Amino acid sequence: MGAVENKQLVLEWFTSGPYGGEEMLADDFVWHTPKGPAALLSDGDPHFGSDALAQLGVIERAAYRGGAEYEMVFCIAEDDWVVMQLDVTSTSHVGDVYSNVYVMTVRCEDGKIAELWEHADTKLWWDTIVGTPEKYAAVEQRLAEERAALSGGTPPASS
């Protein structure tokens, strides 16, 4: 596939919702998260494989009250690579407004999305979402509850 087709694939995936469109992902899809928050969000591993979308949904619910909103600023493509810039806004569980610019670098292979590199101001994220010991502990607790629910354990407590 060429740049035009890859861009269309990524745009279609993006408009299906941030955690949908699994059929558009390669079997060995990897989502690379920024290293800064990876210690909290993914037990130190900044990579999510085949269960990436489920894990990222867990993280979004644990970090943000009511999810996040994504607005595409631009999307460009060259060969197997597609780059999107997104404005992301949300509210922390304690009511702090979070607004950040994300750049997603996506590699396509054989008509599927093979990997995604997420780039953002991680200090801004950290300061807004987990910047105090109390916020950090609360996000850790919500992550544990969400992960337990995902694996068939206890459903998450309402936030």
Give me the residue spans of the domains in the chain. Answer: 3-138
pLDDT tens per residue, range 41-100: 666 666 777 677 777 888 888 889 988 899 999 999 999 999 999 999 999 999 999 999
Model pTM greater than 0.85? no
Angle of CA points 122, 65, 101, to nearest 5°: 30
Tell me, rounded to whole angstroms, the distance of Cα 58 from its chain centroid: 10
Burial 51-68 (b: 16+ CB within 10 A, else e): ebbebbbbbbbbbbeeeb
Q: Domain 3-138, what architecture?
A: Roll (3.10)
CB 125 within 8 A of CB 100: yes
